[in-house]
Amino acid sequence: MRLKLTCVILAIGAMWTVAPSHAQTYDPNYPVCAEIVEWGGTHIDCSFTSLPQCRGTASNRGWCFANPYFAYEPRRPQTRAYR
């Protein structure tokens, strides 16, 4: 009986210590994000391909900024062709 009680208490304690995880805010596929101000707070929308597109959407509700997690296409080193 005592072992079961101890296991239950440890299980409950383990559930309380686990923090909820948050989804990634920044989409690495788009170079521009907007922070939109709404009633009750703000949210970040990273679904824009250019600053003018973002500014048109955000207009007077927020502001635009460069996505810090944008996955730029890696540059390949230029090789010289020897003949």
- Per domain, the residue ranges of the chain are 27-72
Cα of 56 vs its chain's centroid, Å: 22
42-70 in b/e form (b: 16+ CB < 10 A) is eeebbebeeeeebeeebeeebebeebeee
**Token pair for 75:** 């540059």
Cβ atoms of 15 and 9 closer than 8 Å: no
Q: Model confidence over 43-81: pLDDT tens digits? A: 899 999 999 999 998 888 999 999 988 877 666 666 766
pTM of structure: 0.56
Residue 12 has pLDDT above 80, yes or no: no
**C-alpha–C-alpha distance, residues 42 and 39, integer Å:** 8
